[in-house]
Amino acid sequence: MKPYSDFAAHRSRQITVDVLAVAAIAAWIWLGAFVYSLVIGLTDFGVQMEQAGAGFRSTMTDVGDNLGGVPLIGGGIRGPFDSASSAGATLESAGQSQQAAVADLATGLGWGIALVPVLMILVIWLVPRLRFMRRAGQARTLARSGVALDLLALRALTNQRLPELAAVDSDPTAAWRRGDATVMRALAALELKSAGVRLT
């Protein structure tokens, strides 16, 4: 595979686009991580709620246990404290649920913000770049393997646009048929240039 064109202008464009694409990917990943950190910060409220509920539950349980040991009145006095302890447990559970919900939301938003744009960039940028590298590698292999210029010229006749072919010769097909060496070389160079390979 050949990553970049042999031609300076084309190579400069490729490098510029590569740098911009990598920078855009990094920016979207950073934005996703930033949104995640912002949203995950909302779990602090759930942590405080959980701690408050746990502390209240523990205190009410201790008070209920202590008062429950008092003779005669212990059994009757313990009931309200046990109920209060259950309320504390409910508050603790609500705090845990809030943390889990916020964590799920933060993860979904973070991945959603980063992943979708990154995938779009990869499809728009990386797929064509990989195609170019594959085609340039194949063209370079053909050029170096000593393939006759007429085969490359024939590929130019089938692959290149008509205005580019007309710039080589007014009737490039006829020139190819009669084996015009100058036209054949120009057509081969045109085919290789479109693949980013310089004819040597």
Question: What is residue 88's predicted lDDT score, i.e. its pLDDT?
Answer: 82
Q: Give the residue, 65 or 131, on which the prediction is more confident.
A: 131
Judge whether residue 164 has pLDDT over 80.
yes
Q: Read off the pLDDT of each residue in 118-138 and give the average, rounded to a whole number.
A: 92
Q: Read off the pLDDT of each residue in 78-87 and give the average, rounded to a whole number.
A: 77
Judge whether residue 64 has pLDDT over 90.
no
Judge whether residue 74 has pLDDT over 60.
no
3 state DSSP class of 119: helix
Q: Read off the pLDDT of each residue in 12-16 and give the average, rounded to a whole number.
A: 95
Q: 199 vs 140, 156, 172, 189, CA distance in Å? A: 9, 13, 19, 5
148 — pLDDT class (breaks 50, 70, 90): low
Q: Read off the pLDDT of each residue in 78-86 and give the average, rounded to a whole number.
A: 77
Question: What is residue 76's predicted lDDT score, i.e. its pLDDT?
Answer: 66
Contact 60, 84 (CB under 8 A): yes
70 — pLDDT class (breaks 50, 70, 90): low
3 state DSSP class of 147: coil
Q: Give the residue, 33 or 87, on which the prediction is more confident.
A: 33
Contact 99, 46 (CB under 8 A): yes
Question: What is residue 130's predicted lDDT score, i.e. its pLDDT?
Answer: 94
